[in-house]
A and B are shown apart, each in its own frame.
Chain A
Amino acid sequence: MSELLQFLFSGVTVGAVYALVALGFTIIYNASDVVNFAQGEFVMLGGMATVFAHAAGLPLPLAALAAIIGTAAVGVALNRLAIEPARGAPVVSLIIITIGASIFIRGAAQLVFDKQIHTFPAFSGDDPIRILGATILPQSLWVIAGAVLVFVALWLFFTRTLLGRAVLATSNNRLAAQLVGINTNFVMTLSFALSAGIGALAGVLVTPITLTSYDVGLTLALKGFAAAMLGGMGNPKGALAGGLLLGLLEAMTAGYLSSQYKDAAAFVVILAVLFLMPQGLFGRKSTDRV
């Protein structure tokens, strides 16, 4: 019992990180139909920039804030310098551009920061909390709370605000969006800033648990992408559910089978789900009629 609970805790913690990455995917996908494979690098930048800002003397909360804002700026630059000039190119080309951007950001991080593994102190200490024989780190609670908060905020944004609907409208039909007075360039800028900021937040929250280095982004991007696909690309609910599910799958496999198989088991389940439900668990069926 306590064993299961322990796996549950670690699964939800990891899952919350995947969910945050998947939520980042969701925003850019909703605005532009592009799957941004540089999403993992935003997580890395959030963690690394916080480490170095903290080391330079900034108090931790300030360092984290600076890292999030800085990463959001990198997101905006990515849109301006790489995505926007390729406007009109097929979505596949744009996705390849984001893969190139992720390689570039990783390389630049290696030069600007270093190749060491870093961390900074957990926000609320390192004493594990005991619950029914299992333990959870206070930092895990921060990660879970972060994922839930971001999810609620995004869900409200997309379903309750006009600007959120404008983002959806821009991805659905850019021409029509302009005709109703939506500044589609601004929508794109906003989406990349938000998405990068959320990625950086994930990096800040998780670094005290998993540590960080210049190359943590790639795996996170793949896992976050898998989570987003599992839940249904473009749907915040799907991103959250997909992330948590993927985290739990990994934790259970690692706990009951072997940690060697945890990635394989997770991907087998994802494949099975996508065979049966190609739109993902919460995906919207396309309803075009001509």
Chain B
Amino acid sequence: MLTVEGLRSRYGRIEVLHGIDLHVDSGEIVTVVGANGAGKTTLLRCLSGVQPVTGGSITFRGEALTPVPAYKRLKRGLAQSPEGRQIFTNLTVEENLRLGAFLFSDDRVEKDMEDAFQMFPILKEKRNLAAGGLSGGQQQMLAMARALMGRPSCLLLDEPSMGLAPIVVQQIFDVVKGLKALNVTVLLVEQNAFGALKIADRGYVMETGHITMSGTAAELIADPRIREAYLGI
């Protein structure tokens, strides 16, 4: 579904992605784990088109994605729940969700919103409140729900567990796992390697702009180098 080949990107003169190769097949949950500063967020920013690509290619559902401007990528089926949540803080929870479905104005929007509220009941309770007043965990739920309102076939998730209490992290990961049943393919970027690998089918390890290892999630969890470097075991 999503193929990345030799992807390069830079901030000014400093190259942060030195040729990334990875692929995500339809229906999979694939995770990219790695330390802070490895370039994981930059990778997702490139995939969504909000970060210039200086080399390599991105192919999504058989089409080259690189020439497509950022705002047209959701129409192609690619959504992102970005790092730091990036919700519309001045708008209400419901307005955030409605804007997630900005591309649509049919009856399904209402239904999708009900589904989102079912997925995260707390959002229904707070639907008329300004999103900026939500707690971190609630903001993360809103960011994910907003991305799903865009009816993606593939969802890019950037650090959904960042800064959240373990019980909330578990809830979020459960929802990510459940996306499979909704036919949403997931590319999950995480520092929380263990949590991510537990729900993923396959994984990549990223270090300073390179992919250094890849394999099935079970292989990676069992690998002694991973266990030492990322799992703290």
Contacts and interface: CB of A to CB of B under 8 A. Distances in A.
Given A172-B91, A176-B87, 6 more contacts: A166-B99, A172-B88, A173-B86, A180-B99, A180-B100, A180-B149
A127 B132 CA distance: 54
A179 B147 contact: yes
B91 A165 contact: yes
A176 B133 contact: no
Q: How large is the interface on B (under 10, 10 to 19, 20 to 34, 35 or more residues)?
A: 35 or more
Given A178-B70, A288-B132, A162 B102 contact: yes
A115 interface: no
B202 interface: no
Contact of B91 (A168, A179, A181): A168
Interface string A173-210: 10111111111100000000000000000000000000
A169 B88 contact: yes
A179 B132 contact: no
B1 interface: no
Interface of B: 48-50, 69-72, 74-75, 79-80, 82, 86-91, 95, 98-100, 102-103, 105, 130, 132-136, 146-147, 149-150
9 closest A-B pairs by beta carbon, nearest first, are A287-B132, A181-B74, A176-B86, A178-B70, A172-B88, A181-B103, A287-B130, A288-B132, A183-B71
Query: Quick one: which of A176, A284, A287, A290 has the most chain B CB within 10 A?
Result: A176
Interface of A: 162, 165-166, 168-169, 172-173, 175-184, 284, 286-290
B11 to A, nearest CB: 13
Nearest to A171: B90
A179 B82 contact: yes
26 contacts: A165-B91, A165-B95, A166-B99, A169-B91, A172-B91, A173-B87, A173-B88, A175-B82, A176-B82, A176-B87, A176-B88, A177-B99, A178-B49, A179-B74, A180-B146, A181-B71, A181-B72, A181-B103, A181-B150, A182-B102, A183-B69, A183-B71, A287-B89, A289-B133, A289-B134, A289-B135
A260 B130 CA distance: 45
Contacts of A166: 99, 102
Contacts of A169: 88, 91, 99
Contact of B90 (A178, A184, A287, A290): A287
A289 B82 contact: no
Nearest to B103: A181
A75 to B, nearest CB: 22
A178 B50 contact: yes
Nearest to B109: A162
Contacts of A184: 71
Nearest to A159: B95
